[in-house]
A and B are shown apart, each in its own frame.
Chain A
Amino acid sequence: MNNALLRIQGLRTYFYTEEGVVRAADGVDLEIFPGETLGLVGESGCGKTVTAKSILRLIPDPPGRVVEGSVFFEGRDLLKLDRRSLRREIRGNRISMIFQDPMTSLNPVYTVGEQVSEAFRAHRRIGRARALRESVEILGRVGIASPERMVREYPHRYSGGMRQRAMIAMALACRPALLLADEPSTALDVTIQAQILELMKHLREEFQTSILLITHNLGVVAEMADRVAVMYAGQVVEKCGVERFFDGPAHPYATGLLHSFPGMARRAGRLDPIPGSIPDMVRPPEGCRFHPRCRKALPRCTENPPPVTRLEEGHLVRCWLYE
């Protein structure tokens, strides 16, 4: 278990707002092993994106700051790395990121070719012409038709699916060891979603890239992930293999997520949503953060935060029921 490609320990990323300190990530522990895809699931606002952005130190400061924790990657703590090395060696080179909304994640005033070329030129000593040739090549590989022509087009000439393909091309340009994919298919039509997931699967084989796949769509998890981590209110509450998760997770929140997913509910006969909504992250509940919404809450759940319990090899849960 020590050969993790990326290991996040005790990550706390806070946002200092006028309403108070928002503890977006509040003690996140995660690891990603070489070649695997880890599905990071949870409701909107639970800290998934903040966790991913913290890895590359993309949290806007102010108002946000990583206040504690470590992110070990290939033997170095990315949170302590100097900015220059982070930029030159890590961002876009060893770790890439793609974002949720392809309509807004490409710069509208530069051609796609220019933007993909930049990814090459930021990390390799190659000229403009060479970078553009390589951009054509990689755009072709992610399934852009007639890449020689499309490379000179601006993003507004691309459809949503094509833009996400271009984003993936940009992310994979330098063959990163790890891809952070933040809801890569959520903003797209269902048919295009399937295409993008197929493409990611294919490229994962070809490039041997590990993926941190952030999503709230359990169908995507079932399709793509090897392991699942469930986040709630800034913390990981359960981590297990993907089969284990769909067989029946341990944490009441994870169970609730599964039952509120239409694909799973069909099997059970009806949808069973989790009551209530995600807590105020300025003043999260005392004790277990999930207890106000939990059907199995015990008296002590309201008093003390639950410890992390190991149920079996590779299956961890943060819940008093298993203590």
Chain B
Amino acid sequence: MLRFILRRLLALIPTFVGITLVVFIMIRAIPGDPILTILAEDYSEELAQEYRQKMGLDRPVVVQYLIWLKGMVTGDWGNSLISQEPVIREVAKRLPVTLELLVLALAFAVVFSVPFGVISAVKPNSMPDHTLMTVSMLGISLPEFFLGALLLIVFALKLQWLPATSFVPLSGGLFENLRHMLLPAVTLGSARMAMFTRLIRNSMLEVVRQDYIDTARAKGLSEWLVINKHALKNALVPTVTVIGLQIGYLIGGAIIVESLFALPGIGSLGIDSILQRDYPVVQAFVIVSATGFLLANFAVDIVYTFLDPRIRVR
């Protein structure tokens, strides 16, 4: 088991290097010059030259990459071109906000989709099934910016149950923090919840036809055990794969949701830095997101082996 985990971890390294390379090249390919942004009206050829030298932007691209990669690994992520602040400090400050948002959104999606999917599958084509499937179709179709705005209008503006756009960190008390995170998490998690519900329903329908479900019933097990023990664990195997892949979309959605709810997370940092062509920050943003995606899928692989023992042998 430990060897399996180690092997999976080692396999992440080449992927990680690949990501850094692609990111580095793509950032350089974006049209626009950061020097122009910094200097703006003070622009002059000499000043621009001086800034380029100071920031290392005059050196060969390969050297720029290697210096930067070394920095990435040792924790020196450079300074923001705009604020001159160390990038790593900014990321460290904002990462917990995004992580909390992602965890809450994913938890919301999973906690509701599992029972919904099971309820749908146990009695297919019944009223509850049709209702859940209709609602989930709606959930999948609503983009975050629309659903978020809708929730804001209803719960923050009209009913005034929840705060609109402000953020209270965990240090400000768990309850206050959750109150502020609820709408963003629901906004981000809804589409995922809808999708997982349909997924779990379909794989449950597949699983309940299997012979071992007949075996479980013939043994005299209660319907509860047959469904929630024998069927559900098998149905979760394909679902977990999709959950892993969906984390990528969640990170993308976080950009929108953080902007909409004015959350000081990685997503809003990313969008600001892209607009300002703040290369070090953009790079850090993409690398952190991609690494998060990698680690999430690594976690999925591990969860997998607990769900399906057949994967462990390979």
A residues within 8 Å of B by Cβ? 53, 56, 58, 60, 87-88, 90-93, 96-97, 99, 101, 104-110, 115, 118-119, 122-123, 154, 156, 167, 170
Contact = CB atoms under 8 A, between A and B. Distances in A.
Given A105-B211, A109-B233, A93 B309 contact: no
Given A107-B234, A122-B221, A123-B220, A101 B211 contact: yes
Nearest to A173: B219
Contacts of B215: 97, 99, 105-107, 115, 167, 170
Contacts of B210: 104
Interface of B: 209-212, 214-222, 225, 230, 233-234, 237, 307-310, 313
A97 B218 contact: yes
Given A108-B212, A156-B313, 11 more contacts: A56-B217, A87-B222, A91-B219, A92-B219, A99-B211, A101-B211, A104-B211, A107-B212, A109-B234, A118-B225, A156-B310
5 contacts: A87-B221, A92-B218, A96-B219, A99-B215, A170-B219
B214 A99 contact: yes
Contacts of A93: 220
Indicate the member of B219, B230, B234 with the most A CB atoms within 10 Å: B219
B218 A58 contact: yes
Contact of B219 (A53, A109, A110, A119): A119
Contact of A96 (B209, B218, B237): B218
A87 B218 CA distance: 8
Contacts of B310: 108, 154, 156
A195 to B, nearest CB: 21
Given A101-B211, A154-B309, A156-B309, A107 B230 contact: yes
Contact of B309 (A87, A90, A109): A109
A110 B308 CA distance: 9
B281 to A, nearest CB: 45
A108 to B, nearest CB: 6
Nearest to B232: A109
B219 A105 contact: no
A30 B218 CA distance: 20
Contacts of A92: 218-221
A117 B225 CA distance: 14
Contacts of B212: 104-108
Max chain A C-beta neighbours (<10 A), residue from B217, B218, B307: B218
Given A106-B212, A107-B234, A56 B218 contact: yes
A251 to B, nearest CB: 31
A87 B215 CA distance: 13
B124 to A, nearest CB: 8
A87 B222 CA distance: 7
Contacts of A170: 215, 219
Select the residue from A88, A96, A108, A123 with max chain B CB neighbours within 10 A: A108
Nearest to A102: B211
B296 to A, nearest CB: 22
B234 A91 contact: no
A118 B214 contact: no
Contacts of A56: 217-218
A108 B230 CA distance: 9
Contact of A87 (B214, B220, B307): B220
A321 B215 CA distance: 42
Contacts of B217: 56, 58, 91
A90 B219 contact: no
Contacts of B225: 118
B309 A108 contact: yes
A109 B220 contact: no
A315 to B, nearest CB: 32
A120 B60 CA distance: 73
A99 B219 CA distance: 12
A33 B215 CA distance: 25
Contact of A88 (B209, B220, B308): B220
A105 B308 CA distance: 16
Contacts of A91: 217-220
Contacts of B222: 87
A93 B237 CA distance: 31
B214 A105 contact: yes
